[in-house]
Structure 1
C-alpha cells in the first residue's frame, strides 16, 4: 500500500509556517547522480572476528535539488521508497514533491552547496521537504543515500551498525570531494551552479554522528562502541578525520554519539570543530539521550559559536516528511516515521525556518538573519508582544518592531521551544 505525504508549504499558501519556513522564490529541479568510492572497507562476519576487512568499491546514489530555469515545464516529481522491517511485509511510501525532474539549471549564478545525510535505516528523500525548501531559497542540495546494510536479526544488526559507524563520515567526505572535483571539471550542468567556497552539511541521527566527524571532531576509540571497530577500520577513520572537510556550516539534528554509554568523542575532539553549528533536538529524545548526550555535545563544542533549538516534549523523530499512515499500519513504521507529541507539518515548518536562517547567515553572509537565531528569550513562551485593546494581527509575523518576541513567528505561535546559544571558548548552558 502507498501512503502519501505533501510538502508543508507551497508558494501562495500562507498557513501557519513562520516567516522563513515559506517556500522560496526559485523554481527547482532534481536529478540523481551516482558516486563510486574505490577501495572502501566492509565489515563482514569473518572480518568482525579476525579484524580483516573486505575491500571493494562502494557506489551510492545521491539525490540533487537545484535552482532551475523559471521557464522549465513539466510535472512535479514524486519520491518512492519501500521500507522493510524484519518479519513484516514491505511498506511503500510516496512523497509528493515540488521539484521538476531534469529541469534545466539556472544559468549565470552560483549557489552554496548543502550536503544532507540521513539516519540509520533512512534514505535520501526522507527529508525531501526540507531539501526542496532549502533549494527554493537558492542552494544546491545533495542528499546521500547511504544504503545501510539490511537487518534481519541481532547478528546482522551488529554488522550493519558497525559498518554505519565507519561509513557515515567517509561517505560524506568522499562524495563531497568528488562533487567538488566534478564541479571543477564541469561534468554536469547543475554542478556549474555550485559555489565551492560555501558548503554546508546537515546530518540527522547517525548522519549527525558522521557530520560531527566530517566537521573535524576526531573520534575517541577508548570506549564503546568505537573501541570494537576492527583495527583497519579505525586506521581509516583516524586518517580521514585528521582534518575537517571544507565546510563552513554544520547542522546536526538529534545527533548520535554523545550519550555516556556510546560516546564517540571526548571534549578535546569536539573542540576541534571551528565552523558555526546549529543543533535541533527534542528534550525527551531517549534514542540519543538529550540530557546527557546531545546537551553534552552542545556544551563541549567549545571551538565555535553554536545554537541549539529544543522542542519540548519531543522525542527523536523531529525531522522528515509527513507520512499519512493508516491506523492499521505496522507499528514499526509509526515509531520510525512519526513523533508522538508534535505535528509533522509544524516540525517541518519550524525546521525550515531556522535552517534557512542559519544557512543564509553562515553561507551567504546575510547578517539580517542573525536576529532569527539570537532570540530575545531562551524560552519561546516567555516572549513579549503587547497588544492594544481589540487589536487584530491577522497572522503578522514578529519583526524589528517586536524586539522581545521570536523573529518571524506569529504572536502566540512561538511556543514549546527553547533556543540555547554559546560562543567559542565557553561551554553551553
Structure 2
C-alpha cells in the first residue's frame, strides 16, 4: 500500500468510527478490557471488549518462545456497551490466540467483542494434531465451540448481538474460515501435490477418509488473511455466500508457499470481494514484535523485504479491518 492508499484508509477509518457508533455507546472506550479463558483446555484464550478504564498491561508470562508476553488492556474491566458485534479469531498453524493481538485490541477499542482461543493440537506448545487430517475437523469445531460459549455461557453474553458475528482467520485460520463459510476442502488436489511420507500426506496416500466439513451459519462476515491455499479451488470457493475481505502477501512464506498459491485463490474468489495485496511476506500480518520477541523468534519477526515497516502497515491494516467489520455488521449482517 502506498501513501495514497494510507490516506484513503485513514479517511475510511474515520468513517468507520462513525458507523460503529450505531452499536457502541455514545463515546468509544479508552482501552480493551481483557478476560482470560484458562479453566478449560478446549477454551484457552482471551476475550477483548470495550472498557472505560485507562489501558495498562496484562502479563501472560513466558509462552514457550523464550520471551515473556503481555497484552495491552485492563484485566476483568466491566464491559462498556450493549448489543455489540462479536468477532471470532482463528490463528495460523502452530500459532496462539494472541498472534494478532493488536488487531484484536483495535476492534475492541472500536466497540467490538473479540474472542480467540488456542486450537488444541495445533498451537505453539501443542503439535499433536498439527500435520494430521483431523485438524480439518477439529479447527472448525473449535470455532463452533467458542461461538457456543460466547453466545450461551459467557457471563457477559447479554451484551452481544447474536445477529452480528464476524470471523477473522490468518493462514490455516483463513482456510478454517472458508470451511466454516461453506467450502468443502479439495483433498484430492492436496494428495496429487504433496510428496511427504508423513502426516496428512501419508494419510491421504494411504486412503484415509478426510473429515466432513463443519460449517456455521452464524458467521455473517469475515476477514480472511493469507489463507493456506492447498485445499482451495475456484469450485469450492464458489460455495461461499458470506461476504468477506481478503488479504494476501505478495511474497508468501511458510504454509502458503511463494505467494502464487494465494494469488491463485484470489483469482478464483466468487463475486467481487474486497481484495488487498501487501508487498511483504506471510508473517507481516502477525502483530509487530517487541525487541525481546524478535530476539527470541526472529523467524516470525523478520519481514520480507528487509526494511518493511510492520508497525506502520498494521496501522493501515487494523483500520481497514475495523472499517470492514463496521460496515458489514452495523446493520446486523447480510
Counterpart residue number, 2:246: 279
- What do residues 400-424 of structure 1 show as CA deviations (whole Å, max 9, x unaligned)? xxxxxxxxxxxxxxxxxxxxxxxxx
> Matched residue of 1:278: which SS?
strand
Counterpart residue number, 2:295: 329
- What do residues 135-185 of structure 1 show as CA deviations (whole Å, max 9, x unaligned)? 111100001222445799xxx979532154442222112221332232xxx
Specify every segment of 5 or more residues in structure 2 that has no aligned partner in the other structure, as ranges.
1-8, 18-27, 192-199
Is 1:299 matched with 2:267? Answer: yes
Q: How many Å apart are 1:81 and its aligned residue?
A: 4.2
- What do residues 117-151 of structure 1 show as CA deviations (whole Å, max 9, x unaligned)? 11112111222111111111110000122244579
| 1:291-370 aligned within 5 A | 291-302=259-270, 304-312=271-279, 314-325=280-291, 329=295, 333-341=297-305, 342-365=308-331
Q: How many Å apart are 1:346 and its aligned residue?
A: 1.1
Q: How many Å apart are 1:35 and its aligned residue?
A: 7.9
Matched-pair contact (CA < 8 Å) for 1:120–1:164:
no
- What do residues 229-263 of structure 1 show as CA deviations (whole Å, max 9, x unaligned)? 598873xx31x43x44311111111110x2xxxx2
CA 1:231–1:114 in structure 2 vs 1: closer, same or farther (change >3 Å)? farther
Matched-pair contact (CA < 8 Å) for 1:282–1:290:
no
Once residues 175 and 233 of structure 1 are traced to their aligned partners in structure 2, the CA distance between those partners, rounded to angstroms, is 26
CA 1:76–1:197 in structure 2 vs 1: closer, same or farther (change >3 Å)? same
Once residues 318 and 13 of structure 2 are traced to their aligned partners in structure 1, the CA distance between those partners, rounded to angstroms, is 5
> Matched residue of 1:354: which SS?
helix
- What do residues 79-101 of structure 1 show as CA deviations (whole Å, max 9, x unaligned)? 444234xxxxxx1132451x210
CA 1:328–1:170 in structure 2 vs 1: closer, same or farther (change >3 Å)? closer
TM-score for the superposition, normalised by structure 1: 0.62
Larger Rg: 1 or 2? 1
Counterpart residue number, 2:21: none
Is 1:248 matched with 2:233? Answer: no
* Deviates most, 134-143 or 124-133: 124-133
Once residues 12 and 64 of structure 2 are traced to their aligned partners in structure 1, the CA distance between those partners, rounded to angstroms, is 32
Greater share of helix residues, 1 or 2? 2
Matched-pair contact (CA < 8 Å) for 1:120–1:205:
yes
Once residues 194 and 151 of structure 1 are traced to their aligned partners in structure 2, the CA distance between those partners, rounded to angstroms, is 30
Counterpart residue number, 1:129: 102
Structure with more relative contact order (C-alpha pairs < 8 Å, separation 6 or more): 2
CA 1:132–1:327 in structure 2 vs 1: closer, same or farther (change >3 Å)? closer
- What do residues 263-322 of structure 1 show as CA deviations (whole Å, max 9, x unaligned)? 2133222111111111112211143146531122222221x431111112x111122222
Once residues 294 and 113 of structure 2 are traced to their aligned partners in structure 1, the CA distance between those partners, rounded to angstroms, is 38
- What do residues 42-95 of structure 1 show as CA deviations (whole Å, max 9, x unaligned)? xxxxxxxxxxxxxxxx62313101112x3x4784424444234xxxxxx11324
CA 1:217–1:74 in structure 2 vs 1: closer, same or farther (change >3 Å)? closer
Once residues 327 and 143 of structure 1 are traced to their aligned partners in structure 2, the CA distance between those partners, rounded to angstroms, is 21
RMSD: 3.4
Is 1:167 matched with 2:138? Answer: yes
Once residues 208 and 38 of structure 2 are traced to their aligned partners in structure 1, the CA distance between those partners, rounded to angstroms, is 26
Matched-pair contact (CA < 8 Å) for 1:281–1:318:
no
